[in-house]
Structure 1
Amino acid sequence: MNQHANAPVLSGPALEGLEDYASIMDVFHASVRRFADKPAFSCMGKTLSYAELDQLSGDFAAWLQHETDLEPGDRIAIQLPNLLQFPIAVFGALRAGLVIVNTNPLYTEREMQHQFSDSGAKAILILANMADKLERVIARTKIRHVLITQIGDIHGFPKRLLINAAVKHLKKMVPRYSLPMAVGFRQALSKGRSLEHREVVRQQEDVAALQYTGGTTGLAKGTMLTHCNLVANMLQSRAVISDVLGEGCETVIAPLPVYHIYTFTVNCLFMMETGNHTVLIPNPRDIDGFIKTLKTTKYTGFVGLNTLFNALCNREDFRSLDFSSLKLTISGGMALTKPVAKRWEEITGCPVAEGYGMTETSPVVSFNPPRAIQLGTIGKPVPGTSVKVVDGDGEALPFGEAGELCVKGPQVMRGYWNRPEDTAVTLDAEGWIRTGDIAVLQEDGYIRIVDRKKDMIIVSGFNVYPNEIEDVVAGHPDVIEACAVGVPDETNGEVIKLFVVSRNEALDAETLRQWCRKQLTAYKVPKLIEFRDELPKTNVGKVLRRELRDA
């Protein structure tokens, strides 16, 4: 990528403090000592203090070190919703020197198998609710250590037994499974308490997490995020938020999935670094239960995205809540619309600060200064970060001209796991990463996104790549060809529309949806399906996706 003499590079201020930490664990140990008696994480009425998080994660680390043959650098998959088990497992695994592989609990067997095989994960902590899926794929992976947890496992007696019994026997949410080698998570913690944890030294350049992201080929790629990447993003987040949120005195609501890079960094890592309190919401789709939690919690921060803000604002019981303590609302994951942002501020009295990021940047690149929010922009580069926009030839463009947004900074990934060719396409020798998003740099230092990767669909903040859907649909014996596009939707931001050419006139939309549900996570299943005699193509046979989208 070349640089015109008059083309701007927007840069945030210098990033301070990164050299003070060799790894995430250095940050963790400092925080648990400093904020020992402060609440760290809460879920379903149970709260862990930083001292308890330190103890439990140490117990898990000791079990991993003494009861398995796992070595520093080995990968462990964590497939959990927003439960207290998540931070215990993450920090315990990191303390044992392992690499975290965050895994979506909604994944199908096909998606699980790909991620576990690609990452080479040797261990997994999984919720009992999806252990039957693991049973069916484990033989095709390298996983040899299985830990299973139930939803209520971190709660005390008798609440633990009541929660687990209700989930298993009343709600019938735990299918039968057989994994004879599996160890209960509670059992591992109990055993680990009697064992001695050995501190493992990790360096900034060591990989801390493999965070999977969709690819244009439809295969999810493992983004290698180092300790340096994630510590840098913690400190960058602190720098842009510290004038609104303090240390050890804030409570922030976390309704978005913590296995997603957005919540993983902001709530699991940044909130830990500042000694603040995260309230994990296991199922934000249960709006009644969600609002009940909000009603009984005095919270000062809220991390969400456009569709969630919209859904809550449409609820009378939400509008009647007390928002007097709310100081900061953060939006990310998908574009924030002005009508939703304005309505949220009218109802809560708190403006929404929108940021921008991607899995490959740990994720935060830019953020709207909370006291100088400019709606319609993604804010300014965070400290230590530089951005520019380039044309199709890689030439940097001046202010006001739209081009592909490129980012450089300490939070930029090392590369894609075992994919040097994909890494070379995205990341250049100077450390600039091409985001694929089209942006305009403003002379006042703010950045505006005007378009995004032309094919990617964003459903409720989740990236969906059309080729993956098309590959699954093409496997149906009655389908000749298919094309998936995103169409605007008030509830989800976008929904997936599928155009299909079939060889069987009797094939209907619901049959195709059932086919997709067997192989794709629910949010990837097309909502709209249209059958056509043929799809529009270029003269070389490529489907004109934009023509279908515009239609």
Structure 2
Amino acid sequence: MIRIDGRLYDRAYFDETSSRIAAQVGLGAGESGRYAVCFGDTPEWLSFFFAIRKAGASVLPIHPGTPYAAARKLAITANCDRLFYDSLTAEVLEAREEPPGPGRLLHMSSGTTGAAKCIARSWDEIGREVESYVATFREPEGMTPVIACPTTHSYGLICGILVALKRGQVPVIVETANPKYLLKILRETERPLLYSSPAILHTLSRLLPEGEMLHAAMTSGTLLPDPWFMQIRARSERLFQQYGCSESGCIAINPDVRAAGDMGFVLPHLKASAGTGADDTGEIVVQTEGGVPIHTRDLGYRREGGMLVFVSRMDDMINVSGLNVYPGDVEDAVMAMPAVTDAVAFRKADRFAGERVALLYSASQPIAPQDIREWCARHLAPHQLPMEMIQVAEIPRQANGKISRRDVAARHMAGEFLAAQAGVAS
């Protein structure tokens, strides 16, 4: 059973709807098609998903807010042979011929550290991930998962819905992004465990009345800035964190987060290597059972007890005259300044130093770049100081809540932020 925006859909509903959809679109056992699905109706989308998985075919879930042209482009990039766009009438696409293989869950990587690409994971791989997740992460067994993130994303679909169903729980799906409505649902739910984005968790932590706490929350997808982390941690009875990548799914889970960078303990169906300490960081490399090594392009290290610690994305690191600058360190310093609400640091080419730090920041009131510079000079080393600072109304984030520094840097180079905030840059 699954509860979606207040309505309960039982197993009979999904069995009947899945069978109807399978018959209508010609899904039979042993089907090898690659279906791109973009549905605004969540119960129907999930029914279609269950039908495709049962038939052993492949599916590319597409966020329901995606325009048709963009959805079609995604479907073609993922080499899908049919696109279902808010309709059970398929648009046939000219897919490249591929050798037969097992059905897969397809999704596009976020593109935060390079061009987005299609990731294909077999249903057996997804099953092993779910089993490992359930067997290892025992804390939520008496909780009700509340999924306030897209069910077309692996975080909501696998870790939220499939894990809950494996545990015999009834997941609660909240489709609106309205934080006040989400709070209402959490208050009405027995021992809720909230799966959502860091941005939503931060908003909720600020909306909660004095004395009220979130029962439990899971954060994933991006490193929490220290000011956000401290606020969310203070307003959550239990705070969990998970870390993963597109190619392997969930890699590690932290059942009691006490520091933003502590990603957790590696799930038993995987192996992971990294640096040996804070002064000896290395790339986090993951290996599945019998699989090839997966290079995450993330820097981190393992503590003696096994805790996996994230430091920075390798592609985000800024090299200033041969000295490494981690953007998160700059962002944490800036966001500790009163009135600053969000920030993103990114690289900018410099003819003398090679690269310099540039910064976008948002605030509850106008703050002059000179004031930002003076604040940073008291909290950062000289090579870490932003050389250009621009105040914006809102930091640009992707649909999944992540920040793509590559995208921010490209838009800055194109003059987008300067044009929007004339005279703000220093």
What whole-Å deviation, never above 9, does each CA across 1:75-95 have from its counterpart, x for those lacking one? 111223582223212101212
Give yes or no for the alignment of 1:245 onto 2:204.
Answer: no
CA, structure 1 residues 87+490, in 2 after alignment: closer, same or farther (shift >3 Å)?
farther
CA drift at 1:438: 0.8
Partner of 1:115: 74
Partner of 1:329: 217
C-alpha separation between the residues in 1 aligned to 2:402 and 2:241?
A: 27
**Contact 1:77 1:123 (8 Å CA) reproduced:** yes
Partner of 1:359: 246
| Within-5 A mapping of 1:25-64 | 40-64=1-25
Give yes or no for the alignment of 1:291 onto 2:180.
Answer: no
CA drift at 1:232: 1.1
CA, structure 1 residues 217+313, in 2 after alignment: closer, same or farther (shift >3 Å)?
closer
| Within-5 A mapping of 1:281-320 | 281-284=174-177, 286-316=178-208
Greater fraction of residues in strand: 2
TM-score, normalised via structure 1 length: 0.53
C-alpha separation between the residues in 1 aligned to 2:255 and 2:64?
A: 34
CA drift at 1:306: 1.8
Give the secondary-structure state (helix, strand or coil) at the position aligned to 2:262.
coil
CA, structure 1 residues 275+57, in 2 after alignment: closer, same or farther (shift >3 Å)?
farther
Partner of 1:341: 229
CA drift at 1:402: 0.8
Partner AA of 2:281 in structure 1: A
| Within-5 A mapping of 1:263-282 | 263-282=156-175
What whole-Å deviation, never above 9, does each CA across 1:233-273 have from its counterpart, x for those lacking one? 1012112222x222xx6421111111112112111211111
Partner of 2:419: none
CA drift at 1:375: 4.6
C-alpha separation between the residues in 1 aligned to 2:409 and 2:67?
A: 18
Partner of 2:128: 232
Partner of 1:220: 116
Give yes or no for the alignment of 1:368 onto 2:368.
Answer: no
CA, structure 1 residues 435+61, in 2 after alignment: closer, same or farther (shift >3 Å)?
same
CA drift at 1:274: 1.1
1:451 alignment partner, one of 292, 295, 312: 312
CA, structure 1 residues 213+488, in 2 after alignment: closer, same or farther (shift >3 Å)?
farther
Identity of aligned residues (%): 16
Partner AA of 2:180 in structure 1: D
C-alpha separation between the residues in 2 aligned to 1:409 and 1:299?
A: 33
CA, structure 1 residues 298+86, in 2 after alignment: closer, same or farther (shift >3 Å)?
farther
1:385 alignment partner, one of 270, 295, 298: 270
C-alpha separation between the residues in 2 aligned to 1:127 and 1:486?
A: 40
**Contact 2:29 2:54 (8 Å CA) reproduced:** no
Partner AA of 1:378 in structure 2: M
Give the secondary-structure state (helix, strand or coil) at the position aligned to 1:105.
coil
C-alpha separation between the residues in 2 aligned to 1:217 and 1:347?
A: 32
| Within-5 A mapping of 1:339-488 | 339-348=227-236, 350-361=237-248, 363-370=249-256, 375-389=260-274, 398-400=276-278, 401-410=280-289, 431-455=292-316, 487=360
Partner AA of 1:431 in structure 2: V
**Contact 1:81 1:282 (8 Å CA) reproduced:** no
CA, structure 1 residues 62+489, in 2 after alignment: closer, same or farther (shift >3 Å)?
farther
Give the secondary-structure state (helix, strand or coil) at the position aligned to 1:245.
helix
TM-score, normalised via structure 2 length: 0.68
C-alpha separation between the residues in 2 aligned to 1:522 and 1:436?
A: 16
CA drift at 1:217: 9.4
C-alpha separation between the residues in 2 aligned to 1:58 and 1:78?
A: 17
C-alpha separation between the residues in 2 aligned to 1:369 and 1:322?
A: 18
CA, structure 1 residues 98+530, in 2 after alignment: closer, same or farther (shift >3 Å)?
closer
C-alpha separation between the residues in 1 aligned to 2:202 and 2:158?
A: 24
CA drift at 1:522: 12
Give the secondary-structure state (helix, strand or coil) at the position aligned to 1:282.
coil
Q: Which moved more, 1:274-283 or 1:521-530?
A: 521-530
Give the secondary-structure state (helix, strand or coil) at the position aligned to 1:232.
helix
Give yes or no for the alignment of 1:83 onto 2:83.
Answer: no
**Contact 1:64 1:93 (8 Å CA) reproduced:** no
CA, structure 1 residues 293+375, in 2 after alignment: closer, same or farther (shift >3 Å)?
same
Partner of 2:422: none
RMSD across aligned positions (CA) = 4.2
Partner of 2:386: none
CA, structure 1 residues 487+386, in 2 after alignment: closer, same or farther (shift >3 Å)?
farther
C-alpha separation between the residues in 2 aligned to 1:527 and 1:81?
A: 32
Give the secondary-structure state (helix, strand or coil) at the position aligned to 1:56.
helix
CA drift at 1:311: 0.8
Partner AA of 2:238 in structure 1: P
